[in-house]
Chain A
């Protein structure tokens, strides 16, 4: 309940931004803000895994891609040739398929977005579970390398399989009708609606995570971060908690992938790229690791700037530099920077030096 109240100011900001953009005739910003919200969803999930449970993952773009690619391929691949299959008939009768016509008027039979979304997200969860069991036994650099390897494998799979469109990715992904009249799609007329859907999902996720880290589970996670052995000695089942958090963050990533793919109307292999994973980790670090609000803020701001093309072709380089600067000057995140104190010490040092000279 308390956490429900803390997000109200953010909700006010979201609404304010909508009115500001509509008043200044800059509604096009809402498109990038919508996309940023979905990336931020992945990033706050990663924040709980990295900042609270202390487990790094350099493979979260992989989970994003599993979500996005599965829902994209299921909702676009025509199933007409397999129509006689008994399984398909069953799926059709249970309402999991939708039929229609493609651009050229051919009959089209595809999986419905809801069913595809469920398949995509649960696949990501199952994969995270089975990857997590062996991988989470590793620590530090070894864990980073293992998850990096996982990310590379996913990237190579989507790049190599014809089913996933190889280097072209998948396009013409249909709209995801959440409720009648409410759909995730890139249609111009749905822009405002999608802005609120994305931020609604993000705020809902935020409340969930804030509640989680306030609870017994959150305390246990921070204990694991502090010292795994000591947490074990307190009766915290460390391996189970780590695995559950890993799966949770993978689910967040997959949901972000599903929604963003429907919003963009497609997905390409760059979404699965290793640099994407590095970027997510960098943003969590910039946000302050164990700091959900800082991570949310930085996630939205940095991805927004990146999507607006502010960094030009230096995009990845900018994130690399940001990561280095943060690690050097503000290892606890930007929000932890006590700027007044910093200025004081700089001036204080200057004064001392002058005194010495005298």
Chain B
């Protein structure tokens, strides 16, 4: 579904990603883990078209997304849940969801109503808060709203940037359960996380990013069992 080859990207003279390659197949959860500054967010922003790539190739369902404008990418079916939620604070929950459905609005009112209903079923709390301003929601609720908003575009690939940031462990578990449910419903998820343990726990495959390069990749269980990963990201030695 998503194929990235030798991607280099960054901000002006600062090169963050160097020769990065990865792929995501339909129906799987792929996670990218790494420390601060490894380039995780830059990678997602580059795929979403918010940061311009220097070189390399990125193909989403056969379309070259490096040459596609940011605003056109959600229309292709690739939607991002941005880091720090970024819900539209001065708009109500319902309006946020409707704006998420911006690219599919042409499919008619019934289609949108059906999608809304689906999000409310996934996140029942959003239904209760329907007419509340998004800025007044708690962090966990805002994260759910950001996810629901992204799903309103009926994407084939959802990219999530650090959904666990700043949330209580219980809420994090709930969010991750929803991500699993999304996969089970046939969605594809690209998950960027610092919380390596939780992310590898639900993912099918994983990539370990360090200073803009993939240093390890493989099935999630293998990475969880890997010595280096355990020491660097899970904070424990293997032989205990």
Contact = CB atoms under 8 A, between A and B. Distances in A.
B86 A235 contact: no
A226 B103 contact: no
B100 interface: yes
B27 interface: no
B102 A216 contact: yes
Nearest to A222: B91
A83 interface: no
A223 B99 contact: yes
B24 to A, nearest CB: 18
Contact of A234 (B69, B90, B149): B149
A112 interface: no
B99 A236 contact: yes
A31 interface: no
Residue of A219, A222, A229, A230 most packed against chain B (CB within 10 A): A230
B95 A230 contact: no
A6 interface: no
A135 to B, nearest CB: 19
Interface string A205-227: 00000000000100110110111
B153 A234 contact: yes
Interface in B30-65: 48-50
A162 interface: no
A234 B70 contact: no
A230 B86 contact: yes
A233 B72 contact: no
Given A232-B70, A233-B82, 16 more contacts: A219-B98, A220-B99, A220-B102, A222-B90, A222-B95, A226-B88, A226-B91, A229-B82, A230-B86, A233-B80, A234-B100, A234-B102, A235-B75, A235-B79, A236-B71, A240-B71
A227 B49 CA distance: 16
Contacts of A216: 98, 102, 105
Nearest to B89: A226
B112 to A, nearest CB: 10
A232 B70 CA distance: 6
A229 B86 contact: yes
A249 interface: no
Interface of A: 216, 219-220, 222-223, 225-227, 229-238, 240, 290
A230 B85 CA distance: 9
Nearest to A219: B99
B71 A237 contact: yes
B91 A235 contact: no
20 contacts: A216-B102, A216-B105, A219-B95, A220-B99, A222-B88, A222-B91, A223-B99, A223-B102, A225-B90, A226-B91, A229-B86, A231-B88, A232-B50, A233-B79, A233-B80, A234-B74, A234-B102, A234-B149, A235-B71, A235-B73
Interface of B: 48-50, 69-75, 79-80, 82, 86-91, 95, 98-100, 102-103, 105, 149, 153
Contact of A223 (B79, B91, B103, B105): B91
Contacts of B71: 232, 235-238, 240
A238 B102 CA distance: 12
Residue of A219, A220, A225 most packed against chain B (CB within 10 A): A219
A230 B98 CA distance: 14
Q: Which 9 A-B pairs have the closest CB atoms?
A: A235-B74, A226-B88, A235-B103, A237-B71, A230-B86, A232-B70, A223-B99, A219-B99, A233-B80
Residue of A220, A231, A234 most packed against chain B (CB within 10 A): A234
B185 to A, nearest CB: 21
Contacts of B105: 216
Contacts of A232: 49-50, 70-71
Nearest to A225: B90
Contacts of B69: 237
Nearest to A227: B86
Contacts of B75: 235
Contacts of A230: 82, 86-88
A235 B98 contact: no
Contacts of B153: 234-235
A227 B153 CA distance: 18
Contacts of A231: 88, 99
Contacts of B88: 222-223, 226-227, 230-231
Nearest to A236: B102
B165 to A, nearest CB: 16
A237 B80 CA distance: 15
B70 A233 contact: yes
Contacts of A227: 86, 88
B99 A234 contact: yes
A256 B73 CA distance: 39
Contact of B90 (A226, A233, A235): A226
B166 to A, nearest CB: 17
Contacts of A235: 71-75, 79, 102-103, 153
B23 to A, nearest CB: 22
A251 B147 CA distance: 39
A331 B79 CA distance: 35
B53 to A, nearest CB: 16
Contacts of B89: 226
Contacts of B86: 227, 229-230, 233
